Every structure is written in structure tokens, then in C-alpha cells.
Amino acid sequence: MTEPAATNKPVLSVIGTGYLGATHAACMAELGFTVIGVDIDPAKVDLLNSGTVPFYEPDLDDLLQRNLRAGRLRFTTSFEEAGKDAQVHFICVGTPQQPGAYAADMSQVFGAVDALAPHISAADLVVGKSTVPVGTAEEIVNRLKSTAAIGVEVAWNPEFLREGFAVQDTLKPDRLVVGVTSEQAERMMREVYAPLIADNVPFLVTDYPTAELVKVAANSFLATKISFINAMAEVCEAAGADVTKLAQAIGYDPRIGSRFLAAGLGFGGGCLPKDIRAFMARAGELGAEEALTFLREVDQINLRRRAHTVDLARKTLGGDFRGKVVTMLGATFKPDSDDVRDSPALDVAVAISNAGATVRVHDPKGIANAKRVYPNMDYREDLLDAVTDADLLLLGTEWREYRELDPHQLTGKVAGAAIIDARNALDPQAWRSAGWIYRALGRPTA
């Protein structure tokens, strides 16, 4: 993969060094480009320059260190440096949900564009990658008209990377989507992604609104698929059926497919929940609200799974949380990530704690981030310590080390041999035959 920096390639800047930007910067350097990562947080920039990724993402440390050493990658807080030295500028900053509203907070995107604009040259290309409301590219074009040199081009190039697979998804994406309004911009994008295009990655050229919509449409579909199977889980619970078998059976139909049909605590993270809400908000502004009312239901089904899990825990403990110790296995929104944004597991842990139980939280990677959001929870670094004398274990994130737990080994440690498998990640038979009360979401009680 690694090749020496070629002088005819454009130099790239990547604005924003979170999960998306840091990964994109390191991966583009790996593809042989000279890359300048920009962030307004000097501490983050120092960490990245010293070869440390400020979050957990498999394989990213190696990639970062290798490309720093090769001299292809550096990080700075200076927009001036990025504007002067690079010709293609990727906007990779966050678009979180606005507090108290569904819409996305766009201040980081416009802040980044405004900070960069005075420093870029007429032949430069600004490429949006952040997930944004449709219409943003056009708004950036208008903004640049008064703030940047005449001739600066804009392209929209959504990112589809999953946390935990971010490097793989960036270096071997399913597809590349590029929204442009000129041949010049398309040519530059083809140059930037030449190594991937040569690798037969499908390259779709669209207008701006289509490129912007592709991202939120994809995430809405994925969220809908998860909520569909979780709605089936609700029906299975009422009918005494098994949602995991149901998912397996419908998944064999290639029109349906088996991926993203894992029923459980539902989706969380920094993307799916806020993206479907921002999409609804934007559709409303465009007068197309009715088209997306189903996403409200998708959101509701998802949140209901959390409330149901709290109820199931209460029932399993005989109807009362008081005086009981519950150990939440998992704090992150999914395994192989340290991200606790909108984490179903953490949300349930807090709800059970508020309902009166003594709650301990274990997670292999997410404790530091969880502590920042909920400093008063009882976090345990050691798994055995976390489960010792617990009345109930609750698997909220399907980390491998939980999937591999041996029920026989734990029996003597806990106060009550009861587990709720809120991710359908364990073998019910193995736990029940070891003497445990095993409950799961969407599956028969015994």
C-alpha cells in the first residue's frame, strides 16, 4: 500500500481530526499523499503529531505513526498553513445534534470554512465530508463567494466509515460518491481517489443535493433495518417467539439480507440517532416532512428497547431495584470503539441507577469517556471485580470478552446467577445449563 510521496499529487488538508478526520488524514497519507491535518484543539494536534490517536480505533495508531515517520503527514492548528500548502481541503468536523432540537448544529462546518477561506487560492478545491443537511454545499459555495479567492471549487464527498472498521472502510470503501458542479472539480476528485478507483471502487458522480442525501439516506435505511428487527423482537416477546431465529430465516432472502438484523438494545453512537433526527428536521424545512414520518417511529422503537431492558432487569430482580447490585457489561455504543455518544448500554445503566439499584459499569475501552459524561457512576476496570457479588449482569455491548465469558467460572463470584443478554450475543443454552437465569430481548424466557 505504502508508496513514496509523488510530487505531482495535490497536497491535501483535512480540517477536523475526530474519528472521521484523523482516519481520513492517515489513510490519504497511506495512499501516498502529503496531508496536513488541522484542528482548533492544540492538545489534540500535539497528541497526533506525537503519534498518539486521541481515541480508540483499531489499526489507526500504526497508520498514523508510519505516515508521520515517512514525512507525509503532519498536524497543525494553523488554517493559514493548510491554506498555503494544500490544494484540496477536506472538511471533516462534527455536526452534532443541537441541544433541545432535532436539527444538526452546523457551527463547526461553517466555522471551519470561514477560517480556511481567506488562506486558499483560486485553483483550490474544498471538499465536504461531514454529514450535513441537504443544501449545505450550496451554502458553502455562497459563503466562499465573499470570503475566498474567485474560482475556488466545492465538492461533496460523504464518508460511510463505521467506527471500529474506519481504516478498512476508508482504504477499501464500498463506493465513492462525489457531488460536483464542474468538470474541473470532478477531475481533481478523480486524482485524489485515483488509487481507489484503480482498485475498482465504484465512483459515482452526482449533483450536490444527491451526494448530501446519499449519506443520510444510507444511515436512515440502516437505522430502519435495526428498528424493524427490534419491532419484530417486541412482537416475538408478546408471542413467545425467537427473534434471532426469525432474523436468520428472513435474512436468507437475498432481497432482505442478514446484516444489520441483530435485535437487541438498538442503535446508538455519534451518527445514526442524530442523523435520522437531523434528516427529519431538514425534510420539514423543505416541506417534505411527511416523507420521513416513519423515521420518528424508527427512533421510538429504538428508544423503547432501552426502557424495556430496564423493565426486564427490574422483573428479573423480583420487581424492585432497591438493595440490588447490577453490573452493566459495556459502556460504549458498540464493541471495538471507545465512543459512548448516545450509548444504549450507558443510558440503561444510568436509568437503572436512577431507579434505585447499585450499578457498576465495566467496559474494555470506554470508561474514560463514560466518566466524562456520567462522573458519578461506579466504573470498574477489572471484569471479575465488576461482577463479584452482583445480583444481575446485563450485557449491553457485545465486546468479545463478554461473548467469551464462561458461566461456570462466574457462578461462584456473583450473588445471583442471573444475566440479561441485551445484545443476543451469548448462547442461552450454555448459560441456562450452568444454572443461570438467562433473559434476552425478543427471545422466549426459558
Active-site residue set: 271
Binding of ligand UDX at residue 305 (CB under 6 A)? no
Q: Binding string to ligand UDX for residues 192 to 221, with x set by CB under 6 A, is what? A: ---------------------------x--
Q: Candidates 26-34, 41-49, 142-150, 257-265: pick the segment binding ligand UDX (CB under 6 A).
A: 257-265
CB of 279 to ligand UDX, least distance (A): 13
Q: Binding string to ligand UDX for residues 113 to 132, with x set by CB under 6 A, is what? A: --------------------
Q: Letter for the amino acid at 183?
A: E
Q: Candidates 183-191, 264-272, 364-372, 381-389: pick the segment binding ligand UDX (CB under 6 A).
A: 264-272
Instruction: Give the separation between CA 178 and CA 168, rounded to whole angstroms.
Output: 19
Cα dihedral angle (161, 165, 166, 171), rounded to 10 degrees?
-90
Binding of ligand UDX at residue 262 (CB under 6 A)? yes
- State the number of binding residues for ligand UDX (CB under 6 A): 20
Q: Which is nearer to ligand UDX, 76 or 369 (CB)?
A: 369
Q: What is the side-by-side order of every strand in the sheet holding 392-395?
A: 378-380, 358-362, 325-329, 392-395, 418-421, 437-440
CA distances from 171 to 61, 82, 254, 347 (A): 15, 23, 27, 33
Binding of ligand UDX at residue 22 (CB under 6 A)? no
Q: Which of 233, 261, 350, 367 binds ligand UDX (CB under 6 A)?
A: 261
Q: Candidates 73-81, 235-243, 262-270, 426-434: pick the segment binding ligand UDX (CB under 6 A).
A: 262-270
Q: Candidates 30-38, 104-112, 157-165, 353-361: pick the segment binding ligand UDX (CB under 6 A).
A: 157-165
Nearest to 348 by CA among 399, 407, 387, 305: 305
Q: Which is nearer to ligand UDX, 188 or 298 (CB)?
A: 298
Nearest to 167 by CA among 5, 28, 52, 260: 28
Length of the chain: 446
CB of 305 to ligand UDX, least distance (A): 9
What letter would DSSP give residue 110? H
CB of 62 to ligand UDX, least distance (A): 20
At 71, give phi and psi (nearest 5°): 80, 10
Binding of ligand UDX at residue 396 (CB under 6 A)? no
CB of 7 to ligand UDX, least distance (A): 33
CB of 2 to ligand UDX, least distance (A): 25
Instruction: Give the separation between CA 130 and CA 83, rounded to whole angstroms.
Output: 19
Q: What is the side-by-side order of every strand in the sheet holding 153-156?
A: 73-76, 35-38, 12-15, 88-91, 125-128, 153-156, 176-179, 203-206
Binding of ligand UDX at residue 276 (CB under 6 A)? no
Q: Which of 268, 396, 407, 442 binds ligand UDX (CB under 6 A)?
A: 268
Strand ranges, E, within 77-121: 88-91
Angle at 363 between CA 358 and CA 368, to 5 degrees: 95
Which residues make up the interface to ligand UDX (CB under 6 A)? 159-163, 219, 222, 226, 260-262, 264, 266-269, 271-272, 333-334
